[in-house]
Amino acid sequence: DAYLDAIDGANGALNAYVAVTHDKARDMAKASDARLASGQGGALEGIPLGVKDLFATQGVHTQACSHVLDGFKPAYESTVTANLWTDGAVMLGKLNMDEFAMGSSNETSYYGPVKNPWRAKGSQADYVPGGSSGGSAAAVAAFLCAGATATDTGGSIRQPAAFTGTVGLKPTYGRCSRWGIISYASSLDQAGPIARDVRDAAILLKSMASVDEKDTTSVDHPVPDYEAALGQSLKGLKVGIPREYRVEGMPQEVESLWQQGIAWLKDAGAEIIDVSLPHTKYALPTYYIISPAEASSNLARYDGVRYGLRVPGKDIAEMYENTRAAGFGDEVKRRVLMGTFVLSAGYYDAYYVRAQKVRTLIKKDFDEAFAAGVDVLLTPSTPSAAFGLGGHDQDENPIKMYLNDIFTVTVNMAGLPGISVPAGLDAKGLPLGLQLIGRPFEEETLLRTAHVVE
């Protein structure tokens, strides 16, 4: 009730939730009380969580914050959310996000932007919470849930976590099942938690992770007790500092925070090593070829026949066109056009095939660093703190927005786990995050190291 009251009080201002499931939350909480009273309780008994609108939740609003899925209420539950409910968690509602998870500011949502609960010192101006999991990050930061589910295709867990002073963990590709999560770019999409601290992220990941016969890319790898890894010594841990992440134009305060992070890890007994990831500069253009290509294919299913919105036309072809024209926002249309172009007959080899080759080189950079003994890499999460809401011209310059993903997309391209931890404030008093990147399925090392930084 306290969380539902907090949501009812603050959501009008923040717009973090697009659906609040009052009755369901109270029913789930009562069932949880009953289990606890009979001494049964799971790991998350009674913990109130928010769910990104990308996760299918049975009988509950699920639209990826798009108009094209108007009125869609799935008949099934995503594996990740089902795992959370099995462990006793309580669903508070569905969280705002960029439409189909395409964006870095939560401004492409059909339901309007989310406001970052943080403000600059002495200012009334509104800031973006980051994206695409902007609702998840804002809700956690504003205490409108104890934790939230999110997804990360090219930074959508870590960048909003950095912008809101929360912890965002993107697990290894295959760690969590993608079944029941609305697809954006299937070879990059991965679910993970946004939480108030590293311990909560560890606890949530344990429940979310599983191998699943309904997602053949989920991996049968033991799910350890992530929480138990916290507090273990960093003695002997090798932390790589990738020199290519020192990009031109990076503000001094981000550079200083990075140095501070290095000092903290050194003090904790870690060894700091300079490493090179030479293909880093190609990650962003490669990501913005591969992800729209996969998206254009995944989004072909929204044809006005199977789900949500249908806008009639004189024949079926016109009905498709009318539905997609009315149902998708500008950023989604831009990505579908880009994706269709790079997959088209004359350009497939020049763009898509080439991008896949570069992706392999990016992954090889990481493989080599890990083979040389590096356990984790430390980088800033983003090149800057949160930017002002509506303060940029997205339609005229989408590239500027894409540049925000410069430190996060490499991790998805290589399928690695990454975490953003709140590490300080910029001169205006807005949160800044540091990112740790780990070896595949070594989320424990990541969490143990992140616990020292937070």
Where in the sequence numbering do the catalytic residues fall?
52, 132, 156
State which residue, 44 or 54, has the beta carbon closest to ligand GLN. Answer: 54
What is the nearest approach in angstroms of ligand GLN to the Cβ of residue 54?
9
- Rounded to a whole number of angstroms, the minimum distance from the CB of residue 354 to ligand GLN is 19
Round to whole Å and give the CA distance between 224 and 306: 39
Closer by beta carbon to ligand GLN, 335 or else 451: 335
Q: How far is the CB of 412 from ligand GLN (least distance, A)?
A: 7
DSSP 293: H
Tokens of 309: 């919105």
Q: What is the closest distance, in whole angstroms, from the C-beta atom of residue 155 to ligand GLN in the complex?
A: 5
Q: Which of 14, 5, 432, 82 is nearest to 251 (CA)?
A: 432
**3-state DSSP call for residue 238?**
strand
Task: Check if the beta carbon of residue 143 is closer than 8 Å to that of residue 172.
Answer: no
Asked whether 192 and 150 are in contact (CB, 8 A), the reply is yes
Residue 149 CB, nearest approach to ligand GLN (Å)? 13
Indicate the residue whose CB is closest to ligand GLN.
Answer: 156
Chain residues in the site for ligand GLN (CB under 6 A)? 101-104, 132, 152-156, 184, 291, 405
Helix, strand or coil, per DSSP, at residue 71: coil
Beta pairing partners, 377: 240, 437
Q: 58 or 340: whose CB is closer to ligand GLN?
A: 340
271 — phi, psi (to 5°)?
A: -100, 130
Q: Are 275 and 243 in contact (CB under 8 A)?
A: yes
9/137 Cα distance (integer angstroms): 18
DSSP 275: E
Dihedral sign from CA coordinates of 201, 204, 207, 212 = negative
Minimum CB separation from ligand GLN for residue 383, in Å? 13
Query: CA 100 to CA 97: how far, in whole Å?
Result: 8
Whole-number minimum distance, CB 331 to ligand GLN, in Å?
A: 8
Task: Please name every residue paired with 193 in a beta bridge, in sequence order, or none if there are none.
Answer: 149
CB 294 within 8 A of CB 356: no
For ligand GLN, the closer CB: 103 or 261: 103
Looking at the Cβ atoms of 117 and 155, the one nearer to ligand GLN is 155
Report yes or no: 343 and 205 within 8 Å, Cβ to Cβ: no
Rounded to an integer, what distance in angstroms lies between the CA atom of residue 264 and that of residue 258?
10
Please tell me the distance from the alpha carbon of residue 237 to that of residue 378, in angstroms, as a whole number.
Answer: 12
Alpha helices in 165-240 (DSSP H): 198-208
Q: How far is the CB of 220 from ligand GLN (least distance, A)?
A: 25
Helix (H, G, I), strand (E, B) or coil at 280: helix
Max CA-CA distance within the chain? 70
Indicate the residue among 91 and 409 with the shorter CB distance to ligand GLN: 409
Sheet arrangement for strand 17-20: 17-20, 90-95, 48-52, 147-151, 191-195, 167-170, 418-425, 431-438, 376-380, 238-242, 271-275
* Residue 43, Cβ density class (10 Å: 0-12 exposed, 13-18 middle, ≥19 buried): middle
Q: Which is nearer to ligand GLN, 184 or 370 (CB)?
A: 184
Smaller CB separation from ligand GLN, 94 or 451? 94
